[in-house]
Amino acid sequence: MLESLTLTNFKAFAHQELRLAPFTLLTGLNSSGKSSVLQSLALLRQSYESGDLAPVGDRDAGLLLNEELVQLGTGQDVRHESYDDTGPHITFAVRGDGAAAQWTALYEREADHLELFQEEDSEVVTTSVEPSVLLPTLFGPGFQYLKADRVSPQVSYPRSHHAVTTRGFLGAHGEYTVNYLRIHQDEPVAAGPLVLSDASSGRLLGQTQAWMQKLCPGVTLKAEDIARTDAVRLSYSFGSGALASNSFRPTNVGFGLTYVLPIVVACLSAKPGTLILLENPEAHLHPQGQTWMAYLASAAAASGAQIVMETHSDHVLNGLRLRVKQGLLSTDATAVHYFRRKDQTSEVVSPVIGADGRLSEWPEGFFDEWENSLDQLLD
């Protein structure tokens, strides 16, 4: 389990340390740094998967800014505004899994591969240690990063044996989710908070349908291959038995169901000790569905996965608070960080969820728009 992340001279942050928990919730105004936190972890993972975190032959170790998970541009796009060549370099420090690791990159304005080097005064040496051994939560199997621009409803979806079977990866946009569900639909979901008792079965497809029905009652789904093609098909139906509807293409159902499907599958298929990064999972969902999204992520965290979620939804926040009050997660198993801009950098306020579900503080701008509007309506 990752315990903390420290960013120095990276995008919105001059220097910021964040506590990470089994369920970490990131919120705040737009362009305040929330996505940068997820991107920093995805950048390290991306650089590891490409083999760039460690030197190979005559190739220098470095951070690969543009690949499958994130496309960050060049050095000038990722350095903090107040970066000074005489001050700290671009640095990422992670603690967790009983270890500490730090990566320091040399700023190059036009480079999309930032060279890593060992600072003389650093107590942490990482280039000589296999990252997946050092930090298995971040670099081990089962990692998922689902971006806000997830795959839209389509007639067909790509089939990738390497992504789904070898890597167990749903795609940064969730594009391989349908194929993953097709292949793994009969695998059991580990007993515990993730298993809904009213599902048709305890297997992945049955549990996926049960959680999807919390968002849209009566929905069922089917994932199947399209013969003699490199594509798979998803279809939705409503009702059951003699009252079941015809099958519908995702393009005729709407954004909500298809948009949330990768989140449901990622949480249900997560193994203990794996990391799931989620951007705005509540988008296109009714408020009730947003609350159930928090319930799902809380169940995944309670089952041993680590969730880092960016959200703009007070329903997601309240869903997490309810699960703490109900005893599914302890207060220590949650971390809430509110991001806001201050001059050239971002600052973070971290309210604590108490055992009763209440927050230790409610800073200005932190999900207070309803109260502000209500005051005006009652004036």
Instruction: 84-87: list long-range contacts, CB under 8 Å, 24+ apart.
Output: 87/9
Among 289, 316, 276, smallest CA distance to 212 is for 289
Model confidence at 127: pLDDT above 60: no
Topology of the domain comprising 1-142+270-379: Rossmann fold (3.40.50)
* Torsion, CA 105, CA 107, CA 110, CA 114, rounded to 10: -10
Model confidence at 96: pLDDT above 60: yes
Annotate 146-183 with b (16+ C-beta within 10 A) or e (fewer).
bbeebbebbebbbbbeebbeebbbbbbbbbbbbbbbbb
Q: pLDDT digits over 8-35, tens only?
A: 999 999 999 999 999 999 999 888 889 9
Q: Where are the domains of the chain?
A: 1-142+270-379, 152-265
288 sits in which H/E element: helix 287-302
189: DSSP letter: P
What average pLDDT does the chain have? 91
Q: Are 94 and 101 within 8 A, CB to CB?
A: yes
Q: How far apart are CA 306 and CA 277, in angstroms?
A: 9
User: Where is pLDDT greater, at 124 or 241?
Assistant: 241
User: Where is pLDDT greater, at 368 or 115?
Assistant: 115
Sign of CA dihedral 175, 176, 181, 182: positive
Q: How far apart are CA 150 and CA 174, in angstroms?
A: 6
Provide the pLDDT confidence category of residue 128 given band limits of 50, 70 and 90: low
Q: Which two tokens stand for residue 168?
A: 């167990």
Q: Which two tokens stand for residue 314?
A: 């007070």
Q: Which DSSP string corresponds to 233-270? A: EEEEEES-GGGPPPPB-GGGT-HHHHHHHHHHHHHHHP
pLDDT value for 29 = 86
Number of alpha helices (DSSP H) and beta strands (DSSP E) in the chain: 11, 15
- Nearest-Å Rg of the Cα atoms of the chain is 21
Q: How far apart are CA 298 and CA 378, in angstroms?
A: 36
Q: Are 164 and 180 within 8 A, CB to CB?
A: yes
- Amino acid identity of residue 265, one-letter, is V
pLDDT value for 125 = 47
Q: How far apart are CA 156 and CA 233, in angstroms?
A: 5
Among 290, 310, 283, 308, smallest CA distance to 33 is for 310
Q: How far apart are CA 81 and CA 262, in angstroms?
A: 35
The gap from C-alpha 191 to its chain's centroid, in whole angstroms, comes to 23
Model confidence at 131: pLDDT above 50: yes
* Torsion, CA 73, CA 77, CA 79, CA 80, rounded to 10: -150
Q: Are 103 and 6 within 8 A, CB to CB?
A: no
Place of tokens 């971290």: 350
Q: Which DSSP string corresponds to 307-325? A: EEEE---HHHHHHHHHHHH
SS3 call for 339: strand
Provide the pLDDT confidence category of residue 254 given band limits of 50, 70 and 90: confident
- Give the pLDDT mean for 349-355: 97
